[in-house]
Structure 1
């Protein structure tokens, strides 16, 4: 799939009759109207995750990366949320009824958590997420994976841990992974980040154990 809409873009592989879809959401900034390019650092940061998921799931799952129109969240505009909703609409039009797992980093993690209750979303993996007060209540049965490095200085791992505790206490299927010494860029222990996400996706969409 290679689609564009008003500056937003969607790229990736869609095999015949996939058993599910993974939508990867990149990071950004609190504010900024600068246009995003595919070769920018934030979109490129999601490429290794797409590759790890593809390697784990073979040709059974569609793996798509979203490029936002602009860099920032931009307050009430919530620009990346609109871009993600556009991508979900395209996925539903192309693959109606397919279960979707959202994988977001930083601002993309905030978007994924915001959209946790969207129809067809069965899982959310939020990586070093920007945790704010707009976390959506997931639909019953939706699984959440929260991963944060202990040395992150951009987003707060304590907020992620508190969110995991709060969601778990309310009955949500949430898994919290703390990466000892991990940084915001997910470069330290990169294979751990990538394989944790790939295992989560494989378990949800293919019913495979995360260690298989």
Structure 2
């Protein structure tokens, strides 16, 4: 990879995710140029899709489609309080070893969000490889929180960095039956993060595979409560508050209960 000439292209932010209930396309729909929302936006969610280990191909529309419903759910839940959301379109589909292209693109996207909206808090929400990119890019001063769903964490000799997560609020969720990304690795990473940052919790989605599909409603509710609680200083739902306060391993192996989100404040 280091010896290859990489195509010259830049990362970009997709248009602001609309909160309306619309059919989910393979790629976010084209819209007229966004209106100026800078006067009303109080916080920004950046959605980071998955990808491949090695690839210099353009971004995957299918990967973008997989995270699009979650981004729409988050902006729909927070739009009335000034939350905007954008998908991040990577330069390349792959992580590409030490280049860590999606992590670089995520950090660029945070800077671009600040340029557009001013001094607002940013939450990075990623799935699969995008979850790893979110964790890596959390060192940007504007990032206040990270959601990492089924994070792709290769078994490398070099440990994942964690110091950039100091002072951030971190949620990891992983399916216990995930055969694509190892839930044990995300637990081990969560343990390491907990040693430098107490504000981390990890939920286990029992019987769920990589896509978390059997419990999509609960995962969306979990992510929504954490994101809006972190960005808008709302009180967290009790399971999240308990997980953040519990010592390991309890707070890092919290089961995601069936029906989470139906009565969050009960």
Q: Same fold (TM over 0.5)?
A: yes
Find 1:152's aligned residue among 178, 200, 219.
178
- Report the count of equivalent residues: 206
Once residues 98 and 231 of structure 2 are traced to their aligned partners in structure 1, the CA distance between those partners, rounded to angstroms, is 33
Partner of 2:51: 28
Instruction: Out of 62-71 and 164-173, give the one that drifted further.
Output: 164-173
Find 1:195's aligned residue among 187, 196, 221.
221
The Cα of 1:138 is off from its aligned counterpart by 3.5
**Structure 1: 5+ residue runs without aligned partners?**
none
Matches within 5 A, 1:23-172: 23-37=46-60, 40-59=61-80, 60-131=82-153, 133-138=159-164, 140-172=166-198
Once residues 71 and 46 of structure 2 are traced to their aligned partners in structure 1, the CA distance between those partners, rounded to angstroms, is 9
Once residues 82 and 140 of structure 1 are traced to their aligned partners in structure 2, the CA distance between those partners, rounded to angstroms, is 19
Instruction: Out of 55-64 and 22-31, give the one that drifted further.
Output: 55-64
Residues 170-202 of structure 1 deviation map (CA, whole Å, 9 limit, x = unaligned) = 343101000001111222211111111111111
The Cα of 1:139 is off from its aligned counterpart by 5.1
Q: Say which SS state the counterpart of residue 213 (structure 2) adopts.
A: coil
Once residues 223 and 173 of structure 2 are traced to their aligned partners in structure 1, the CA distance between those partners, rounded to angstroms, is 9
Once residues 57 and 26 of structure 1 are traced to their aligned partners in structure 2, the CA distance between those partners, rounded to angstroms, is 20
Work out whether residues 167 and 197 of structure 2, in 8 Å CA contact, stay in contact via their aligned partners in 1. Answer: no
**Structure 2: 5+ residue runs without aligned partners?**
1-7, 18-35, 237-263
Once residues 104 and 137 of structure 2 are traced to their aligned partners in structure 1, the CA distance between those partners, rounded to angstroms, is 10
Task: Select the structure with the greater relative contact order (CA < 8 A; seq sep ≥ 6).
Answer: 1
Find 1:9's aligned residue among 12, 19, 31.
12
Distance 1:139 1:28, change over 3 A: closer
| Structure with greater strand percent | 1
Highest Rg: 1 or 2?
2
